Chain A
Amino acid sequence: MTSTAIPVTTRKDWTSDQEVRWCPGCGDYSILAAVQMLMPDLEVRRESTVFLSGIGCAARFPYYMNTYGLHSIHGRAPAIATGLATTRPDLDVWVVTGDGDALSIGGNHLIHALRRNVRLTILMFNNQIYGLTKGQYSPTSEVAKVTKSTPFGSVDAPFNPISLALGAEASFVARTHDMDRHHMQEVFRRAHEHNGAAFVEVYQNCNVFNDGAFEKITGRDVRSSMLIPLMHGEPIRFGAEGERGVVQRPDGRLEVVQVTDVGEDALLVHDETRDDPSLAFALSRLSHGPHEPTPIGVFRSVERSEYGAEMSRQIVDAQERKGPGDLASLLRSGSSWTVD
Chain B
Amino acid sequence: MATGTDQTPEQLDRVVIRFAGDSGDGMQLTGDRFTTSSALMGNDLATFPDFPAEIRAPAGTMAGVSAFQVHISDHDILTPGDSPNVLVAMNPAALRANIDVLGKGATLIVNVDAFDERSLTKAGYDSNPLTDGSLGAYIVYEVPMTSITQEVCKEAGVKPRDAERSKNFFALGLVSWLYTRPTDPTIEWIEKRFADRPEVAEANTRAFRAGFHFGETAELFESNYEVRPATFPKGEYVQVTGNQALAWGLIAGAKLAGVPLFLGSYPITPASDILHELSRRKEFGVRTFQAEDEIAGIGAALGAAFGGSIGVTTTSGPGLDLKSETLGLAVNLELPLLLVDVQRGGPSTGLPTKTEQADLLHAMFGRHGETPVPIVAAQTPSHCFAAAIEAIRLAIKYRTPVILLSDGYLANGAEPWRLPDIESLAPIDPGFATEPNHTEPDGTAKFWPYVRDELTLARPWAPPGVPGLEHRIGGLEKEDGSGNVSYDPANHEQMVHLRAAKIAGIARDIPEVEVDDETGDAEVLVIGWGSTFGAIAAGVRRVRAQGKKVAHAHLVHLNPFPTNLGEVVGRYRQVLVPEVNLGQLSLLLRAEFLVDAQSLSKMQGVPFRAAEIERALMNLLGGA
Contact A108 B36 (CB under 8 A): no
Tell whether A82 pairs with B484 under 8 Å between CB atoms, given A76-B296, A112-B296, A337-B236: no
The answer to whether A66 touches B470, judged by C-beta atoms less than 8 angstroms apart, is: yes
Report if A318-B307 is in contact (Cβ < 8 Å); known contacts: A63-B472, A87-B287, A339-B42.
no
Binds A, one of B88-96, B276-284, B392-400: B276-284
Of B247-255, B342-350, B554-562, B615-623, which binds chain A?
B247-255
Chain A residues bordering chain B, tally (CB within 8 A)? 62
Across the interface, name the chain B residue whose C-beta is closest to A21.
B485
Pick the interface stretch among A134-142, A189-197, A244-252, A319-327. A319-327
A-facing residues in B464-482 (Cβ within 8 Å) = 464-476
Residue A260 interfacial (CB < 8 Å):
no
Q: Interface residue count for B (Cβ, 8 Å)?
A: 69
Instruction: Collect the chain B residues with CB atoms within 8 Å of residue A108's CB.
Output: 292-293, 296
B610 interface residue, CB < 8 Å from A? no
Q: How far is the CA of A16 from the CA of B471 in the complex (A)?
A: 9
Whether B36 and A335, one on each chain, are in contact in the complex, defined by CB atoms closer than 8 angstroms, is yes
Tell me, yes or no, whether B572 is within 8 Å of chain A by CB. no
Chain B residues 294 to 308 lying within 8 A of chain A, measured CB to CB, are 295-296, 299-308
Residues of A within 8 A of B357 (CB): none
Q: Write the nearest CB–CB distance from B431 to chain A, whole angstroms.
A: 18
Cβ of A68 and Cβ of B470 under 8 Å apart?
yes
**Chain A residues numbered 281-340 whose CB sits less than 8 Å from any CB in chain B:** 311, 314-315, 317-319, 321-325, 327-328, 330-332, 334-340
Contact with A along B237-267 (1 / 0, CB 8 A): 1111000000010011001000010101000
Per the bound structure, the CA–CA distance linking A301 and B568 in Å amounts to 67
Contacts of B248 in A (CB 8 A): 327, 330-331
| Chain A residues in 8 Å Cβ range of B238 | 331-332, 334-337
Is A325 a contact partner of B289 (Cβ separation < 8 A)?
no
Contact B251 A327 (CB under 8 A): yes
Q: Is A25 an interface residue (CB 8 A)?
A: no
Of the residues B36, B287, B422, B473, contact of A328 by C-beta under 8 Å: B422
Task: Report Cα–Cα, A189/B311, bound state, in Å.
Answer: 31
Q: Quick check: A72 and B329 within 8 Å, CB to CB?
A: yes
Please, how many angstroms separate the alpha-carbon atoms of A70 and B463 in the complex? 11
Other-chain residue from A46, A47, A324, A331 in contact with B283 (beta carbon distance below 8 A): A324
B256 (CB) vs chain A CBs: closest residue:
A327
Q: Tell me the residues in window 66-115 of chain A with beta carbons closer than 8 Å to chain B beta carbons.
A: 66-73, 76, 79-88, 90-91, 108-109, 112
A86 to B251, CA, bound (A): 18
Q: How far is the CA of A87 from the CA of B42 in the complex (A)?
A: 43
Q: Out of A76, A84, A336, which one reaches B419, CB within 8 Å?
A: A336
Q: Which of B74-82, B205-213, B227-235 contacts A (4 or more CB under 8 A)?
A: B227-235
Q: Which residues of A contact B201 (CB under 8 A)?
A: none
How far is A81 from B289 in the complex, measured between Cα atoms in Å? 13
| B618 CB to nearest A CB, Å | 35
CB contact between B237 and one of A69, A83, A325, A339 (< 8 Å): that residue: A339
Q: In the complex, A68 Cα to B472 Cα: how many Å?
A: 6
Cβ–Cβ < 8 Å partners of B311 in chain A: 83
Quick one: closest B residue to A7, CB to CB?
Answer: B467
* Cβ contact within 8 Å between A109 and B296: yes
Report yes or no: B465 in contact with A79, Cβ–Cβ below 8 A: no
Does A62 interact with chain B (Cβ within 8 Å)?
A: yes
Q: Is the pair B260, A50 in contact by a Cβ cutoff of 8 Å? A: no
Question: Which interface residue of B40, B285, B306, B468 has the most chain A CB atoms within 10 A?
Answer: B306
**Which residues of A lie under 8 Å from residue B475 when comparing CB positions?**
55, 71-73
Q: A80-B303, A83-B301, A109-B296 are in contact. Are A70 and B42 (CB under 8 A)?
A: no
Spell out A's residues near B (CB within 8 Å). Answer: 1-2, 16, 18, 45-50, 52, 55, 62-63, 65-73, 76, 79-88, 90-91, 108-109, 112, 311, 314-315, 317-319, 321-325, 327-328, 330-332, 334-340
Q: Nearest 9 pairs between A and B by C-beta?
A: A71-B474, A83-B303, A325-B284, A83-B300, A79-B299, A69-B472, A79-B296, A318-B282, A84-B303
Can you give 7 A-B contacts (C-beta < 8 A)? A47-B468, A76-B325, A87-B262, A321-B283, A325-B284, A327-B248, A339-B237
- Using CB atoms and an 8 Å cutoff, list the residues of chain B in contact with chain A: 36, 39-40, 42, 185, 232-240, 248, 251-252, 255, 260, 262, 264, 281-287, 289, 291-293, 295-296, 299-309, 311, 325-326, 328-329, 333, 419, 422, 463-476, 484-485
